[in-house]
Structure 1
Amino acid sequence: MEINLVTSNTNLFTPVQLGPYTLPNRMVMSPMTRLRAIDNIPNSLMAIYYAQRSTAGLIVTECTMVSPLSLGYINCPGIYSIEQVAGWQQVTDAVHEKGGRIFLQLWHSGRVSHPSLLGG
């Protein structure tokens, strides 16, 4: 069976409503943990990375720690300090500037973490 993608009926590129948000298309960038947040603070490298992907209908960020005790990997971003919130603001501003939408993935490593990462 041959499928002509140009003329086939698809809704992939049509807007969709997600709660109060209208997404420009139905493509979602799933979370991919990159571990680029030096000292667990989101940075300009991350802002560039996510802004470059802003044409997706929705971006779901990498795992983001909710507390110091949720650290499971080195350089994982957090959202529990003023510096981290400011870092994520830089990321979301960059994505919004390009017309993108971004949701933060809240995360706690649980038993995956190693005691050496948690001070013993």
Structure 2
Amino acid sequence: MFLNAFLGHLDIYSAGHTHTASVAVEVWDGTPPAQDAAQWDERAEADFEPTSGEVAVWSMGLGRADDAITLAGSGGSWRVRVSCTGRAAAAALSEDEGTGDGVEKYLVQFWPAKH
């Protein structure tokens, strides 16, 4: 599984180990519309409990991204859907050339969990 949810953070595992993936983040008021599954290599959903109303993106190689994603004024219960494409190409690139940029692409969507 490429997505693991923990209290306060999400771990997303890349198929390659020596590249910088592209990440787009969306925050929705409700469940985002379904997407064509054929356009993604992997998709996963999980419950997410942030410790505050903001989420930061971290990379093992680059550290913390400058911008934080604002979910709400405080924590709360959220759902997250992570979709990814380019996994096979990123894995091959890591094996052959060793580095790459934006080959693997992620879409991370957050929305409030319904109680």
Please, what TM-score do these two structures have when normalized by structure 1?
0.29
Give 1 or 2: higher strand fraction.
2
Structure ranking higher on relative contact order (CA contacts 8 Å, 6+ apart):
2
| Structure holding more helix per residue | 1
How does the TM-score come out when normalised to structure 2? 0.30
Larger Rg: 1
